[in-house]
Amino acid sequence: MILVIIIGVRGHTMLHKRLESGWGVLLPASLIVAMAMSDLSFAQWRIVVVLGLLATAVMLYHKRLRHFVLLPSCAALAGAMMLAAMNLGQQG
């Protein structure tokens, strides 16, 4: 309800800025899908997750890169989900 009121008051620019962050999810997700097709090992997926988390921490403190922090954090999240899927596949 509050978002509807803010969009009504500020116009469509608020909605456009909100939808712009979708690229921060789509780009890393497509990268993870491409990496999933390359059949990475469990250890390599762990490296992807660690690098994503480290890049997120570094980007938070950088003035210009701070706006793109969703890119490595989404890659780390998707990599962690791949690790969980691989772990469940090995147990089952």
> What would the pLDDT profile of 16-56 be if each residue is shown by its tens digit?
555 466 777 788 778 888 888 888 888 998 999 999 999 99
Range in 12-16, 31-35, 58-62, 87-91 with the lowest mean pLDDT: 12-16
- pLDDT of res. 73: 87
Q: Which of residues 11 and 91 earns the better pLDDT score? A: 91
- pLDDT above 90 for 88: no
Q: Which of residues 36 and 84 earns the better pLDDT score? A: 84
Enter the DSSP assignment of 62. S
- Boundaries of every domain in the chain: 22-91
7 CA to centre of own chain: 25
